[in-house]
Structure 1
Amino acid sequence: MKARVTIMLKDGVLDPQGEAIRHALGGLGHKGVGGVRQGKLIELDLDATDTDAAQAEVVKMCEGLLANTVIEKYSIEIV
């Protein structure tokens, strides 16, 4: 079983890396980009066979290590 965790900065948290990407895109002629938010995608291979147990385990991973929940939000997809 796989889990995909998408981690993004919370709304209202400044994203200097996203702003640098937006600026670079403008410099390359892509003028229609009003904003960019940059994040992380983490893919986990799990031994779990139960979807609910896998979801609960990945939540623990996110809360304990993968995401800084003060400034980041995360979403989990079990596949």
Structure 2
Amino acid sequence: MIKKHVIYKQDKWNMLTVEVNGTRYIARVISDQWGEDTYTFLSRSALIQWAQDRFSVEKFEGTDEERKQILDAFELV
């Protein structure tokens, strides 16, 4: 059974979702600038590490509160 989690969704073209398929975690980043990128992880800890790197304080273009909400959403996966 595949379970889908929406990490964030700004509109129809800018979103990040995570699908849990058994022991695999598939992150899909959809952007109106870059299209769709898919990342597959074999463990939850690898997914969390990727999220922390991708949404690090240095790289994130948004408020600290937005960053915290995104990372909290990953923790619920």
TM-score class, shorter-chain normalisation, is 0.3 to 0.5
Report the structure number with the largest CA radius of gyration. Answer: 1
Bigger relative CO (Cα 8 Å, ≥ 6 apart): 1
- Bigger strand share: 2
- When normalised by structure 2's length, the TM-score is 0.32
